[in-house]
Chains A and B, each alone.
Chain A
Amino acid sequence: MTKRKMYFRMITASLMRRRSRMLVALLAIAIGATILSGLVTIYYDVPRQMGAQFRNYGANMILTAADGSFTKEDMDAGLAIVASADLVGATPFRYETVRIHEQPIMAAGTDMEAVKKTSPYWLIEGEWPAGSGEILVGENVAENLNLKIGSTVTLSFTPEADEGAGASENAGADDEVVLDNMIDFVVKGTLNTGGSEEDYVYIPMADLEELTGIAEEIDLAEVSISTSGDGLNAYMERINTQVPAVHARLVKRVTASETTVLSKLQALVLLVTVVVLALTMICVATTMTAVVTERRREIGLRKAIGASDASIIQEFMGEGMLLGGVGGILGSGLGFAFAQFVSVNVFSSTITLRPVLVPVTIIVSIVITGVACLLPIKSATKVDPALVLKGE
């Protein structure tokens, strides 16, 4: 048998046959490693997770026409630049002044399904419009005009749209040469946002195009992208240079707060990780000190039968590092489960395993355990064989 084989036989025997004490140290290391790999997983996943969360607060990029107007085609060209995995949603809007009960009202043509993605915070009473001839009415409009869910309203539009609401009122009084376009809509729901959206009515884009007789034009697009900071800036710049018809800008209020919250959250996760690792080290060092005290007789005996200080250090270090390795293996597995648990419960989404974290966790556990063992092991070499064997 080689010396190395005997060495491993000894340190594994020590761990396997004197379980109770080592179990405490193993538990400490495994918990430390679990928190480490769990939090690091979360650390790297937080931007994605939080990005998805932040997208609940609406779009973080707005596309408008570089000059005059732009089309759905221009918008799609801009969106093609954004990686499909990052694109949460994009909604075109076109605004026109229409009349309901002879009152001028702002009507927006849009894509209802896309709105659900870019403005998840919209609160609908009733239902979303699902097709042509259905209308979503802002709360204020509904109140002022006394529109009930299920009732029918008629939207009228005077073709010279550029003259505005005042002009059409005058037109109504002076002459009736220009005939209004009119479409009937069923009120499907009312909209509550706490913002200016409550003063608008929303109809499908195709209906607005039919009502106005003008197709293909849009005024702005709200875009929701699950990236923040530099990534988002890069997208903005590329859209602006590659699609000249479109002017992209960021919704500063959303993106700035997102970046700060993210960096604070990551700093917090990092801090907790460092604290937990420090606690693990303290726990391992304490346990190892107790182990060395408990095994003074054995250390004295080993020295008496010829162990040098170096062998004593080697043996205890070996036991410590083996514990660190086993704890690291346990921890990298449990850590993923822990991160998954946190992710599902806090962010309600799953995360993917980062394979590189497994060896990293194991190595960090071994190093941390090794460092924690240094002082206790140094005290082990101080044991005097003569005193121990005199039968203390």
Chain B
Amino acid sequence: MSLLELKNVYKIYGDLHALDDVNLKVEKGEWLAIMGPSGSGKSTMMNIIGCMDKPSKGEVLLDGVNIAAESAKNLTNIRRDKIGLIFQQFHLVNYLTAVENVMLAQYYHSIPDEKEALEALERVGLADRAKHLPSQLSGGEQQRVCVARALINHPEIILADEPTGNLDDANEEIVVELFRKLHEEGTTLIVVTHDPEVAETAQRMVVLRNGKISKETVNENFTGHIRFH
């Protein structure tokens, strides 16, 4: 059984089909990239997989559970337990320090553990920035805090919606390198990107166009390392 399966998923706003009969399977431990032009439905799809939105039609099976049929309360629980989220904007709570932002995810998940949170920050190379507020961090550093927060509870899937969209090459490389390590550890990764260099690091890539999957390619020479053209 696939970890994630979308079956005939639609998301309809008025007469706009943001998702239009999407079918997709993601295996456990897989690293998938999603590409597509702006407005093609990438974020809509990520929101549905991330249990923050429900499809208008169709089934979304996560670990065999149809999350399209779950209550909002159950969706919160599933999201908390199984999913780590990374966004294009570096969404951090602006009055909490880096380590406190990481601990926030632990707080909602189970029990905050400052030591573990500091280790996560160390993993993303920010051990010395733990006590800084987001406003005192660069964009790349903020995004790395977001990565640390996404991985702190050991989620089954990490969903990243254009995680490198606002980053320079150096930070992009750091973030992709973090993904590669997570992948090695067996974490399932779904990364939305409009950047082909980032997409090429993944094992498989699907392209969305007008809410439909228009193309699907498997990366034959997958290494997990980014190659700048």
Instruction: List residues of chain A with CB under 8 Å of any chain B CB.
Output: 1-3, 5-7, 9-10, 13-14, 17-18, 297-298, 301-309, 311, 384-386, 389-391
A308 to chain B, nearest CB (A): 5
Interface residue? B24 (CB, 8 A): no
B132 to chain A, nearest CB (A): 12
Task: Considering the complex, give the chain B residue whose CB is closest to the CB of A306.
Answer: B80
Task: Considering the complex, give the chain B residue whose CB is closest to the CB of A303.
Answer: B76
Interface size on B, residues (CB 8 A): 33
Task: Considering the complex, give the chain B residue whose CB is closest to the CB of A298.
Answer: B93
A73 to chain B, nearest CB (A): 78
Instruction: State whether A306 and B105 are in contact (beta carbons under 8 Å apart), knowing that A14-B95, A297-B91 are contacts in the complex.
Output: yes
Interface residue? B21 (CB, 8 A): no
Residues on B with beta carbons closer than 8 Å to the beta carbon of A311: 108
List residues of B (65-104) whose CB comes within 8 Å of A's CBs: 73, 76, 79-80, 85, 87-89, 91-96, 100, 103-104
A331 to chain B, nearest CB (A): 25
Instruction: List residues of chain B with CB under 8 Å of any chain A CB.
Output: 43, 47, 50, 52-53, 73, 76, 79-80, 85, 87-89, 91-96, 100, 103-105, 107-109, 111-114, 133, 149, 161
Question: Is A298 in contact with B85, judged by CB distance below 8 angstroms?
Answer: no
Question: Is B53 in contact with A386, judged by CB distance below 8 angstroms?
Answer: yes
Instruction: State whether A3 and B85 are in contact (beta carbons under 8 Å apart), knowing that A306-B79, A386-B53 are contacts in the complex.
Output: no
Instruction: State whether A304 and B100 are in contact (beta carbons under 8 Å apart), knowing that A17-B95, A297-B91 are contacts in the complex.
Output: no
Instruction: State whether A389 and B108 are in contact (beta carbons under 8 Å apart), knowing that A1-B113, A6-B103, A303-B76 are contacts in the complex.
Output: no
Q: Which 3 A-B pairs have the closest CB atoms?
A: A306-B80, A306-B108, A17-B95
Question: Is A3 in contact with B112, judged by CB distance below 8 angstroms?
Answer: yes
B16 to chain A, nearest CB (A): 15
Q: Main SS of the interface on chain A? A: helix
Question: Is B108 in contact with A2, judged by CB distance below 8 angstroms?
Answer: no
B40 to chain A, nearest CB (A): 14
Q: Contact check: which of B52, B80, B107 meets A389 at CB < 8 Å?
A: B52
Instruction: State whether A302 and B93 are in contact (beta carbons under 8 Å apart), knowing that A1-B113, A3-B111 are contacts in the complex.
Output: yes
Question: Is B91 in contact with A306, judged by CB distance below 8 angstroms?
Answer: no
Question: Is A391 in contact with B112, judged by CB distance below 8 angstroms?
Answer: no
A309 to B77, CA, bound (A): 11
Residues on B with beta carbons closer than 8 Å to the beta carbon of A298: 93-94
Question: Is A1 in contact with B85, judged by CB distance below 8 angstroms?
Answer: no
8 A–B contacts, CB within 8 A, in A order: A1-B111, A14-B95, A18-B94, A305-B105, A307-B108, A309-B73, A389-B87, A389-B161
Task: Considering the complex, give the chain B residue whose CB is closest to the CB of A6.
Answer: B112
A386 to B96, CA, bound (A): 22
B103 to chain A, nearest CB (A): 6
Task: Considering the complex, give the chain A residue whose CB is closest to the CB of B88.
Answer: A391
Question: Is B149 in contact with A305, judged by CB distance below 8 angstroms?
Answer: yes
A3 to B105, CA, bound (A): 12
A53 to chain B, nearest CB (A): 52
Residues on A with beta carbons closer than 8 Å to the beta carbon of B88: 391
Q: Contact check: which of B76, B95, B105 meets A18 at CB < 8 Å?
A: B95
Instruction: State whether A13 and B105 are in contact (beta carbons under 8 Å apart), knowing that A297-B91, A305-B85 are contacts in the complex.
Output: no
Instruction: State whether A301 and B43 are in contact (beta carbons under 8 Å apart), knowing that A306-B79, A306-B108, A389-B87 are contacts in the complex.
Output: no
Task: Considering the complex, give the chain A residue whose CB is closest to the CB of B87.
Answer: A389
A335 to B89, CA, bound (A): 47
Q: Contact check: which of A1, A2, A303, A306 meets B109 at CB < 8 Å?
A: A306
B9 to chain A, nearest CB (A): 15
Question: Is A390 in contact with B109, judged by CB distance below 8 angstroms?
Answer: no
